A and B are shown apart, each in its own frame.
Chain A
Amino acid sequence: MWKLLQIELYKIFKKPRTYIAFGAIAAIILLIQMALLVNGKEYLQFGLGFLDDSFEIPYDRISNGYWICFVILNLLLIHVPILVALVAGDIVSGEANMGTLRLMVSKPVSRTELVLAKFLASVIYVIALLAWMALIALALSMLLFGTGDVVVAKSMELHQIEQSDVLWRYFAAFGFAALALIMVASLSLLLSCLSDNSIGPIVATVCIIIVCTLISEMQIPLYDKYLKPYLFTTYMLGWKGFFYIAVDADGQTIRGSVQNLPAILKSMGVILIYIAGFVTTAVLVFRKKDILS
């Protein structure tokens, strides 16, 4: 199994396509950083501007490296699934398309191990992608913009987290994001097992995510009641939960607290169930699949 995983990783990281994602992430993040460096205040006013009447808002202090990382994650984590699909959606069907799948499957390794090795390789790819993101979005932003308290806007609330209480939340958020993206990877893997061309599963993954996200965010009571609780996309934004801080009876934030930890844990549980479901199905499909490519 370890040998298979090494082989899969070797293939992934030798493939030029893999680096598109790393390049794209770096480019987008640098663009956002540059934009916020120049027009950070205007961007903030978009969200906080109408509080100007009632409050003195220290825009300069809000646009620090920690906040910028949050903005980047907020903008980017919706799109990273596409980058994950680019690799995970191709991982089986790409080989079918290329013709190497038949050679692989005729080797003395079990198909279950093969799919699991491919899944684990996608997991490592996802983690590498997030580590890369963390490096540029967090470390570089901290370097460029310094650190400070983070102000996070919810649709009806503003949460402020003290500087010393921030970093662990990023680790937790990246951990959660990894889990959510692993779920995307496992969905892509399943679709990849069902197909013999590389584009299909990539496009299908992206479409499924778009449709489910739309349903999750449309706020139509019928969908909210009967569909939303079952859509995996509903749970993907859980990383933000770590930036929603709890308040005490006096209305002051409690350092180190999370507003709704059970909801985050529940989301993690649901995501784990989805991952297990997708991967198990992928294994079953692949075991039964006639390799005709």
Chain B
Amino acid sequence: MSAIIRVNNLSKQFNEIAAVTDLSFTVNEGDVYGFLGQNGAGKSTTIRMLLTLVRPSSGSIHVFGKDLFTHRAEILKQVGAVIEKPDLYKYLSAYDNLSLFAKMSGLQVSRTLLMDQLKQVGLEERAFSKVKTFSQGMKQRLGIAVALVHNPRLIVLDEPTNGLDPQGIADIRNLVLKLSREMGKTILVSSHLLSEIELVATRMLIIDKGKKMVEGSVAELLDPSKTVVQLETTDNKETKEKLKQSKWSGFLQPDHGAVQLKMNKDEVPALVNDLVNMQVQLLSVNSTHSLEDYFLSLTTRPGHVEAFTN
């Protein structure tokens, strides 16, 4: 499997503010690479650097094995992108917008090709309507048509579901899966919602404050063994003592006040059974996946980071 994107020690400084710091990651051919982070974490800046919109302060980006800034045109011919909102020329029709950007991608455009593309995103009937009359979802679909019209090898989708209704979100998800599975495209998709990424991505990276937090395959990161179980009992202190002396002592997490265990989700029934046998009075059992827990913690409890990254 060859690396489609290889980013090494990438940094971007806007005056005094470090938007991205020493970021390195690799996207392999065929990956649906999830780029996860809160708003302002540095996702967009990184994506803009990948599309040559923003010049890195330091570090290197190689795409298709070539340096992005020295082989810019050659590389960008094979890249399609939707960057944040799908902003297009409102005073032009869908067809004109598509035709214009297809030409800019170096494509010999034909009416058949453009109409086919519009058909694929369900806009063939509105092909000659001005974009200013379009709904957000229609604009998004047109934006995707623009990104795909030149049949790129790499597709970059920056927050593609922003502002869409649930049906629109589902449509985008299905499209990403189709592009990846049926057409073998490599896709980089960014989002601030883990739930979105986990449904489509094969690999993912979590970025916070411009720094890489985690990178790995989704299967590995969402491993069920990394479930955090939180117990609420009538006497938490006593429960902890009892657990320390049981076979569960290895799963017990450092003290957070509540009783927490990091374990495989499958073993939760056995744990509950044992607790009953130990005569612990259970008030509630709450299990969350540690990645989700961790991701939420990025904004709320920075101190919790080590719990996952270790």
Interface set of A (CB-CB < 8 Å, partner B) = 3-4, 7, 10-11, 14-16, 98-100, 102-110, 288, 290-292
Which residues on A sit within 8 Å (CB–CB) of B105? 107-108
Contact of B103 with A by CB under 8 A = yes
Q: A245 → chain B, closest Cβ, in Å?
A: 47
Q: Are B53 and A108 in contact (CB under 8 A)?
A: no
Majority secondary structure, A binding face: helix
Q: B301 → chain A, closest Cβ, in Å?
A: 30
The 10 A-B residue pairs with the shortest CB-CB distance, nearest first, are: A99-B87, A108-B76, A291-B53, A106-B51, A107-B104, A108-B73, A290-B54, A108-B77, A102-B83, A106-B81
Closest to A10 in B: B100
Contact of B116 with A by CB under 8 A = no
How far is A107 from B75 in the complex, measured between Cα atoms in Å? 10
Contact of A7 among B88, B100, B146 (CB under 8 A): B100
How far is A27 from B64 in the complex, measured between Cα atoms in Å? 57
Contact of B55 with A by CB under 8 A = yes
Contact of A103 among B54, B91, B96, B101 (CB under 8 A): B101
Q: Are B74 and A108 in contact (CB under 8 A)?
A: yes
Q: B154 → chain A, closest Cβ, in Å?
A: 12
Q: A91 → chain B, closest Cβ, in Å?
A: 13
Closest to A106 in B: B51
B249-272 near A? 1/0 per residue, CB < 8 Å = 000000000000000000000000
B54-86 near A? 1/0 per residue, CB < 8 Å = 110000000000000000111111010101110
Contact of A105 among B14, B52, B88 (CB under 8 A): B52
How far is A11 from B104 in the complex, measured between Cα atoms in Å? 13
Closest to B146 in A: A103
Q: A33 → chain B, closest Cβ, in Å?
A: 32
Closest to A4 in B: B104
Which residues on A sit within 8 Å (CB–CB) of B77? 108
Q: Are A16 and B76 in contact (CB under 8 A)?
A: no
Interface set of B (CB-CB < 8 Å, partner A) = 14, 48, 51-55, 72-77, 79, 81, 83-85, 87-92, 96, 100-101, 103-106, 146
How far is A105 from B48 in the complex, measured between Cα atoms in Å? 10
14 contacts between A and B (CB under 8 A): A7-B104, A11-B100, A14-B96, A16-B91, A100-B87, A102-B83, A102-B87, A107-B101, A107-B105, A108-B74, A108-B77, A108-B105, A109-B104, A292-B48
Q: B8 → chain A, closest Cβ, in Å?
A: 20
Closest to A15 in B: B91
Which residues on B sit within 8 Å (CB–CB) of A109? 73, 104
How far is A98 from B101 in the complex, measured between Cα atoms in Å? 15
Q: Are B48 and A108 in contact (CB under 8 A)?
A: no
Which residues on B sit within 8 Å (CB–CB) of A14? 89, 91-92, 96
Which residues on B sit within 8 Å (CB–CB) of A11? 89, 92, 100
Q: Are B104 and A100 in contact (CB under 8 A)?
A: no
Contact of B83 among A98, A103, A108, A290 (CB under 8 A): A103
Residue of B55, B75, B92, B100 most packed against chain A (CB within 10 A)? B100
Q: Are B90 and A98 in contact (CB under 8 A)?
A: yes
Residue of A99, A100, A103, A290 most packed against chain B (CB within 10 A)? A103
Q: B16 → chain A, closest Cβ, in Å?
A: 15
Q: Knowing A3-B103, A291-B53, A292-B54 are in contact, say whether A102-B73 is a contact too (CB < 8 A).
A: no
How far is A292 from B81 in the complex, measured between Cα atoms in Å? 15
How far is A14 from B83 in the complex, measured between Cα atoms in Å? 24
Contact of B81 among A4, A103, A110, A288 (CB under 8 A): A103
Which residues on A sit within 8 Å (CB–CB) of B55? 288, 290
Q: B252 → chain A, closest Cβ, in Å?
A: 47
Which residues on B sit within 8 Å (CB–CB) of A292? 48, 53-54
Q: B18 → chain A, closest Cβ, in Å?
A: 14
Q: Knowing A16-B91, A290-B53, A291-B54 are in contact, say whether A102-B104 is a contact too (CB < 8 A).
A: no
Q: B95 → chain A, closest Cβ, in Å?
A: 12
Q: B114 → chain A, closest Cβ, in Å?
A: 15
Q: Are A98 and B76 in contact (CB under 8 A)?
A: no
Which residues on B sit within 8 Å (CB–CB) of A7? 100, 103-104
How far is A98 from B48 in the complex, measured between Cα atoms in Å? 17
Which residues on B sit within 8 Å (CB–CB) of A16? 91
Which residues on A sit within 8 Å (CB–CB) of B76? 106-108
Q: B107 → chain A, closest Cβ, in Å?
A: 10
Q: Are B104 and A104 in contact (CB under 8 A)?
A: yes
Residue of B51, B81, B88, B89 most packed against chain A (CB within 10 A)? B89
